[in-house]
Amino acid sequence: DAGVIQSPRHEVTEMGQEVTLRCKPISGHNSLFWYRQTMMRGLELLIYFNNNVPIDDSGMPEDRFSAKMPNASFSTLKIQPSEPRDSAVYFCASRLQGYSYEQYFGPGTRLTVT
């Protein structure tokens, strides 16, 4: 079975450019989470969706960040414009809500903004 799929795995971009990270959750999972991992702040939740609806975006750092989930099998996290301090590893995770608390993580996207 395919796990959570994220693309790209690595992204290097210049400050001011738009960055789009993509995630395909595990088929059948109805909750999707976006996390960011940095040395300073560890693994922090940015936003999560239940049944494609954003539930809590309180972790989104600024208006430069936005996330969408147009359908049950796809989500994007967009940063526009990007800044060097956005450099981090971004993880997507999915879960079957109502079944267990376990979240299954993708391999992450390492973003470097120069």
Partner 1 sequence: DQQVKQNSPSLSVQEGRISILNCDYTNSMFDYFLWYKKYPAEGPTFLISISSIKDKNEDGRFTVFLNKSAKHLSLHIVPSQPGDSAVYFCAASASNQGGKLIFGQGTELSVKP
Nearer to partner 1, 15 or 43 (CB): 43
Residue 83 and residue 3: Cα distance in Å, rounded?
A: 30
Give least dist CB 51 to partner 1, A. 11
Other beta carbons within 10 angstroms of residue 11's beta carbon come to 19
Give least dist CB 24 to partner 1, A. 13
Amino acid (one-letter) located at 58: S
Instruction: Confirm if 40 and 33 have CB atoms less than 8 A apart.
Output: no
Give least dist CB 16 to partner 1, A. 28
Nearer to partner 1, 27 or 97 (CB): 97
Strand 109-113 versus strand 10-13 pairing type? parallel
Task: Report the largest interatomic distance among the alpha carbons of the chain, rounded to a whole angstrom.
Answer: 42
Give least dist CB 42 to partner 1, A. 4
Positions touching partner 1 (CB under 8 A) are 4, 31, 33, 42-45, 48, 50, 55-56, 91, 93, 95, 97, 101-108
Q: Coil, strand or helix: which one is 21? A: strand
Nearer to partner 1, 21 or 108 (CB): 108
Nearer to partner 1, 35 or 65 (CB): 35
